Structure 1
Amino acid sequence: MQDQFEWPEPKHEADKLILRNVRDHGCHIVGIPGANPTFAFSIGLFLNYGHPELVIFGQNSENAQAVINLIRDRVASGQKFVDGDISDDLLENGYKLGFWQVPFGAYPEYLGTAIWFYWRSRLAFPCLQVIWQDVNRRFPWEAECSLAVKEDQPLLKEAIS
C-alpha cells in the first residue's frame, strides 16, 4: 500500500499535524464537534494497516477518539474488522460495537480531510461506520433502541444507496 501512496502537500500547520500523526501514531483523528450529530473519523488506517478508515457519530471528541484508538490498536496488532462485524470485546460492561461499510456517496459530506489525504495517490480507501449501542444494549437498527441514540447515529449504509 505505502509504495502506491503519495503524501499530500501540507498547506497549513493542521495539515502537517495530520501527516505527523499518521506517521507516528498510525492514524490521525478528525473531530467535527459542531456537526449535528457530532462525529469523528480516522485518517491513516488504510495506508498503514490496509484496514478501512473509521467514522463514528454521536460521541463527544474524547469518547470518539478513545474508541477509534482502541480499534486502531487492535488493527495494528493484526485484527481486521469488516462490514457486518459485531465486536463484544472492545468496550466494557458487555457493550458491543457494530461495523458497517460506508457508501462512497457519503464520503464528500463526512470524510473530506481523508479524501484530501488520499487524493494524490488516487486510492479509493474504504471506510467503516462504528455503531454503538444504547444503555439497554440495542443498536440503532433495532426497533426498541433509544430514539436519541438513533438520531445520534445516521446509518449511512441505509441512508445513502
Structure 2
Amino acid sequence: MPTDKPECRCILCHDYGDRNELDLMDQHTVEHVQTRGWSVKMIPEDDHGPGFAYTVGLWHTHRSPELAMFGLDVHLMHELLNDLGDEIAAGRPAQADQERHDLLDRYPVVLKNVDLKWYREFFGRAISFYHHPPFPILEVVWPDREGHFPWNTGYDEQYRELQPHLWLKPEDHPIGVWTQLIQPPGPVAP
C-alpha cells in the first residue's frame, strides 16, 4: 500500500475490541473487504427519498476514496460502483473533479468530494468500518440524457431530486428531499 496517504483507521487495521461482537452487516462488510477489497452497500428507494449505494473498503485496500452514487436503480449502482472499484484496483485512480468515461456507455460521470457534514446521514456502515471519519468519499455524479450535470444550465429538472449535491455543505444545498433528511424538524403547527 502507498505510504504517502494517511494511515487507515479501519477495524481490520486496528484492534477496537472483539470482532465477534460486530453485527451481521458489519461482519458481511469485513468479509467482502477481505475477499474482494471493498463492499457495496445498497439503500433502496423509500418514502424518504431515492435509493443510493456506496463502497466501504476502497480506502483500506487501495487508499482510494470511497464512492457513492444516488438516484438510479440500486442494483445498477451496485454494478457501476463495482466496475469503478475494478478500475481503481487495476491502477486507474479516482480523484475529485475527475471526469470518467469508463463507467456509463454513452455518458461521462464526474467525481465530487463529499462534504464531511453529510457522512453521518448517508454512510453509517463506512463510519462503523473505519470507526470514525475522516476518510474520503467521492460522489459519482451522472448527467441527464442531454449530458448536462446538476451544476450545468439546462439540466433536466425531472432529475433534480435524484442526486444530492454532497459536494456542498448541507446549509448551501438547495432545499429538497436531501436536506429534509438532515435538517431538524421545524416547529409543530398549533
* TM-score (norm. length: structure 2): 0.76
Amino acid at match of 1:134: D
Amino acid at match of 1:55: A
Q: Aligned match of 1:106 in 108, 114, 118?
A: 118
After superposition, the C-alpha distances for 1:52-102 in whole angstroms (9 at most, x for unaligned) are: 001111011111111101110010011112111111232212x01100000
After superposition, the C-alpha distances for 1:4-56 in whole angstroms (9 at most, x for unaligned) are: 82266352222221111111111111111135121111000000000000111
Distance change (3 Å), C-alpha of 1:143 and 1:123: closer
Q: Are 2:166 and 1:153 aligned?
A: no
Aligned to 1:55: 68
Percent of residue pairs bearing the same amino acid type: 28
Q: Are 2:53 and 1:40 aligned?
A: yes
- Judge conservation of contact 2:26–2:125 (CA < 8 Å) in 1: no
Aligned to 1:74: 87
Question: Which runs of no fewer than 5 residues in structure 1 stay unpaired?
Answer: none
Distance in 1, matches of 2:115 and 2:97, equals 14
Q: Which has the larger radius of gyration?
A: 2
Distance in 1, matches of 2:130 and 2:9, equals 13
- Judge conservation of contact 1:7–1:117 (CA < 8 Å) in 2: no
Q: Are 2:135 and 1:137 aligned?
A: no
Distance in 2, matches of 1:159 and 1:124, equals 15
Superposition deviation, residue 131 in structure 1: 0.2
- Judge conservation of contact 1:30–1:40 (CA < 8 Å) in 2: yes
Distance in 2, matches of 1:7 and 1:27, equals 19
Distance in 1, matches of 2:29 and 2:71, equals 23
Question: Which runs of no fewer than 5 residues in structure 2 stay unpaired?
Answer: 1-6, 173-190
Superposition deviation, residue 148 in structure 1: 2.2
Superposition deviation, residue 2 in structure 1: 5.8
Cα RMSD (Å) of the superposition?
Answer: 1.9
Aligned to 1:6: 14
* TM-score (norm. length: structure 1): 0.89
Which structure shows the bigger proportion of residues in helix conformation? 1
Superposition deviation, residue 147 in structure 1: 1.2
